[in-house]
Amino acid sequence: MSENHDFLHHVGDEHPFVARGLRNYFEYRDLGIEEASKGDVVSHVIRARDGHNATGAWHVHDCKFQMFYVLKGWARFEYEGQGVHTMKAGDCVMQPPMIKHREIEHSADLELIEVVSPADFKTYEVDGPDA
């Protein structure tokens, strides 16, 4: 990580949720971390979009670090070698780099914070573990 990170006070009211990002069934509110960290880290508040559901597509993230903390609601994920897990408000998950996983479903009120490094990580759809 860079020692040249900037101080950041991100004012939430000034940054709306937008319906664009990695998944079309979520809305994202960028927390400004990518710019302040010079691309070392990205962080979002992510929430469920009305009328949109998870696709269940298996995928991996090519990153060094990824975690999320559930603020509201719940989500059900399946991880290669770890089985199905239901995460609820107050739960924190750290996903190892390149672990195959998929979201099965989530509650309509799901809201979580995600932190990933580096900010410009790539995501790839992959065959499921039994494919």
| Cα–Cα dist 56/37, whole Å | 32
pLDDT in tens, 14-31: 777 766 655 566 788 989
pTM for the model: 0.86
Sequence length of the chain is 131
Residue 50 has pLDDT above 80, yes or no: no
Instruction: Reply yes or no on whether the pLDDT at 81 is more than 90.
Output: yes
Report pLDDT digits (tens) over 102-129. 999 999 999 999 999 999 999 998 998 8
Question: Using an 8 Å Cβ cutoff, are 26 and 18 in contact?
Answer: no
Which of 58, 8, 54 has the alpha carbon at shortest distance from 33? Answer: 8
Q: Does residue 95 register a pLDDT over 90?
A: yes
Decide if pLDDT at 1 tops 60. no
